[in-house]
């Protein structure tokens, strides 16, 4: 009899881990509190940036390269668009520490990139306005992921390999004993498994209370604008971007629907206890500030927000994920801290290896739950 593994939470990390484990012959049950694809995940909202220019640390580079190859493989095998290879343009003052860091990390890892001085930046990307002493660093491995399609494709792979993925099954508690793990659903039903993977995003602290004090849930707003000339913002002429000017930090993606362009920045919300505290919409002053700054920095986007949505992710203080075993039979993959989607393939594979005891492909000690002990 193969070992039974229950994966709790089928966002990116859980779906990928479920697929990997099922492909290795384990009996996998995936339990998702919501529909199998929904609008309330940390993945929701049309697009996620993939950057190889990673100022978060050089140790992410091997994980990024593995993930990028996996996204392209998934896209090709599934025959649907998951990754737009637009590149990612970082724009900031030549003297700003993050611009030096981005260049250093790309050069250090030997990753393909171009450095554009202010004149070249103006000439090639006239969409970016109000340039002062800013330079651009174009990360040629970067691009834009389609998260809903990606998760749907990963779940298709998981089901093909035999995983039993169940929507609308909220897990209320897990208890480990000498023989396995008991998983209690909110409906009152109980399931047993040899091992459990907790990938339930913002609720993972509720299922693993020892980790709860080390994580906080932060809202992130997304905003879209409707340009008069969408052709100026098509993926072949307008790379995804991150721009820092003074204390304004904006990020965005080209138009993926030929109509709206995503551009915005974190609206600096405070931590919330759970989803019920997530604001339903931006406060008028935040809306005004984002629209004003985006219009000033990307002149072809009008000073009005055409679409907005509010989401949240769960963060650690060091903004590194929590990935590893918390006990003999329980593995956790959570707290991707606002930058985890691009790395889902590497994180999902690592979770599968933690379950089976296979050697890890990378040194993940900096992500270990043991760092909080
Ligand atoms: C607005 C926004 C923008 C972002 N931009 C980027 C970006 O550009 N690039 C990037 O790489 N990353 C980005 N991130 C971060 C990235 O999207 C997240 O880190 C990642 O998607 C988190 O994945 P997850 O699997 O942990 O959580 P989720 O995707 O939220 O998945 C968790 C799943 O568990 C389910 N669940 C919860 N509780 C239970 C339960 N009790 N029982 C069963 N199921 C349960 C949930 O319904 C959910 O489906 C962004 C995040 C946000 C919010």
Torsion angle, alpha carbons of 50, 56, 57, 58, to 10: 20
- pLDDT for 108 equals 84
Instruction: Return the structure tokens found at 56.
Output: 């978060």
Paired residues of 171 in beta bridges: 185
Q: Which of 8, 16, 41, 331 to mutate to test the pocket of ligand 1 (most atoms within 8 A of CB)?
A: 41
Choice from 169, 174, 341, 351 to test ligand 1 binding pocket (greatest atom count within 8 A of CB) = 341
- 45 CA to centre of ligand 1 in angstroms: 11
Q: Is the CB of 239 under 6 A from ligand 1?
A: no
Q: What is the DSSP string of 111-153?
A: --EEEE-HHHHHHH-TTS-S-SSEEEEEETT-EEE-HHHHHHH
Which ligand 1 atom is the nearest neighbour of the CA of 342? 11
- Residue 49 · residue 144 · CB < 8 Å: yes
Question: Does the CB atom of residue 92 touch ligand 1 within 6 A?
Answer: no
Which domains, ranges and CATH numbers included, belong to the chain? 4-44+148-210+318-372 (3.50.50.60), 48-145+216-315 (3.30.9.10)
pLDDT band at 322 (very low <50, low <70, confident <90, very high): very high
Torsion sign, CA atoms 156, 162, 166, 171: negative
What's the CA-to-centroid distance between 311 and ligand 1, angstroms? Answer: 9
Nearest to 161 by CA among 352, 369, 371, 300: 352
Establish whether residue 217 lines the binding site of ligand 1, counting it when its CB lies within 6 angstroms of any ligand atom.
no
For residue 195, the CA-to-ligand 1 centroid distance in Å is 22
Decide if 241 contacts 91 (C-beta within 8 A). yes
Q: Which of 68, 115, 109 is nearest to 90 (CA)?
A: 115
In tens, the pLDDT along 128-185 reads 999 989 999 999 999 999 999 999 999 999 999 999 999 999 999 999 999 999 999 9
| Ligand 1 neighbour 348 (Cβ under 6 A) | no
Classify residue 102 by its DSSP letter.
Answer: H
- Looking at ligand 1, which atom is closest to the CA of residue 41? 30
Nearest CA, atom 50, ligand 1: 338
Cα separation, 234 vs 227, in Å, equals: 11
Dihedral pair phi/psi, residue 107, rounded to 5°? -65, -45
**How far is ligand 1, taken at its centre, from the CA of residue 234, in Å?**
27
Using DSSP, state whether 222 is helix, strand or coil: strand
Q: How far apart are CA 155 and CA 347, in angstroms?
A: 16
Q: Which atom of ligand 1 is nearest to the CA of 48?
A: 8
For the chain, give the mean pLDDT: 96
Rounded CA-CA distance 49/252 in Å is: 8
Given a cut of 80, whether residue 267 has pLDDT beyond it is: no
Q: Which residue's entry shows tokens 């000690």?
A: 365
Which of 238, 237, 295 shows the shortest CA–CA distance to 265?
A: 295
Q: What is the pLDDT of residues 204-241, one digit of tens each?
A: 999 999 999 999 999 999 999 999 999 999 999 999 99
- Model confidence pLDDT, tens digit, residues 109-134: 899 999 999 999 999 999 999 998 99
Given pLDDT bands bounded at 50, 70 and 90, which one contains residue 105? confident
Beta bridge partners of 309: 222
Whether the CB of 41 sits within 6 Å of ligand 1: yes
Q: What is the average per-residue pLDDT within 287-302?
A: 97
* Cβ proximity of 337 and 67 under 8 Å: no
CA of 138 to the centre of ligand 1 (A): 27
Instruction: Tell me the three state secondary structure of residue 249.
Output: strand
Question: In which band, very low, low, confident or very high, does the pLDDT at 71 lie, cut at 50, 70 and 90?
Answer: very high
On the question of pLDDT at 266 being above 80, the answer is no
From atom 19 of ligand 1, which residue's Cα is the shortest distance away? 340
Compute the chain's Rg from CA coordinates: 21
Given its phi and psi angles, is residue 310 left (phi above 0), alpha (psi -120 to 50 degrees) or beta?
Answer: beta
pLDDT interval class at 284 (50, 70, 90): very high
Tokens 């100022």 appear where? Answer: 55
């Amino acid at each position: 009899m193969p070992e039974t593994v229950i994966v709790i939470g089928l966002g990116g990390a859980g779906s990928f881990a479920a697929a990997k484990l099922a492909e290795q012959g384990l009996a996998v049950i995936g339990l998702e509190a919501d529909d199998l694809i929904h609008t309330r995940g940390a993945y929701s909202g049309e697009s996620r940036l993939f950057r190889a220019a990673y100022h978060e640390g050089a140790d992410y580079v091997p994980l990024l390269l593995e993930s990028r190859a996996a996204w392209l493989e998934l896209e090709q095998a599934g025959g649907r668009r998951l990754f737009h290879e637009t590149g990612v343009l970082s724009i900031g003052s030549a003297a700003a520490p993050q611009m030096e860091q981005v260049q250093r990390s790309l050069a250090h890892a030997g990753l393909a990139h171009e450095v554009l001085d202010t004149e070249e930046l103006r000439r090639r990307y006239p969409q970016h306005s109000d340039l002062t002493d800013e330079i651009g660093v174009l990360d040629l491995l970067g691009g834009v992921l389609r998260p809903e399609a990606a998760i749907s494709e990963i779940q298709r792979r998981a089901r093909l390999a035999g995983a039993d993925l169940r929507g609308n099954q909220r897990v209320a508690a897990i208890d480990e004993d000498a023989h396995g793990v008991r998983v209690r659903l909110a409906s009152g039903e109980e399931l047993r498994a040899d091992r459990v993977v907790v990938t339930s995003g913002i609720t993972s602290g509720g299922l693993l209370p020892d980790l709860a004090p080390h994580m906080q849930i932060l809202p992130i707003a997304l905003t879209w604008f409707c340009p008069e000339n969408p052709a100026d913002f098509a993926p072949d002429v307008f790379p995804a971007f991150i721009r820092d000017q003074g204390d304004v930090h904006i990020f965005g993606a080209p138009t993926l629907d030929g109509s709206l362009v995503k551009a915005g920045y974190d609206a600096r919300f405070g931590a919330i206890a759970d989803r019920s505290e997530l604001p339903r919409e931006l406060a008028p002053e935040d809306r005004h500030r984002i629209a004003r700054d985006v219009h000033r920095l990307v002149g072809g986007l009008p000073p009005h927000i055409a679409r907005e949505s509010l989401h949240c992710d769960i963060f650690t203080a060091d903004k590194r994920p929590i990935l590893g075993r918390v006990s003999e039979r329980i593995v956790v993959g959570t707290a991707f801290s606002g930058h985890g989607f691009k790395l889902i393939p590497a994180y999902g594979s690592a979770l599968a290896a933690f379950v089976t005891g296979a050697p890890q492909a990378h040194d993940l000690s900096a992500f270990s739950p043991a760092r909080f002990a």
